[in-house]
Amino acid sequence: GQDLGTMVAARHIPDAMMRDWRKTGAVDRFALGVAGTALFMVPVLNLFAPILGAAMATHLFHAGRNT
């Protein structure tokens, strides 16, 4: 979750704001990591897990910016 979130944030916010961003939403990013890991455990779904994980991270990032 942390790596996926950082990947998305790096494309959308300046480096100076990254430290502040990392302090917020840690629980949400942890849940994203758990969900992504769970996707890798399902036999056919694991083929799509990287794409779904990146999409979930992007959605989580943009949902957090709108609040």
Per-residue pLDDT tens over the stretch 15-62: 888 887 777 878 888 888 898 889 999 999 899 998 988 898 888 888
The reported pLDDT for the residue numbered 7 is: 80
The reported pLDDT for the residue numbered 67 is: 59
- pTM for this one? 0.72
The reported pLDDT for the residue numbered 66 is: 65
The reported pLDDT for the residue numbered 18 is: 82
Q: How far apart are the first and last CA of the chain?
A: 20
User: What is the tally of structural domains in the chain?
Assistant: 1
Alpha helices in the chain (DSSP H): 2-12, 15-23, 26-41, 49-65
The answer to whether 61 and 12 are in contact (CB under 8 A) is yes
Range of the domain at 36: 2-65
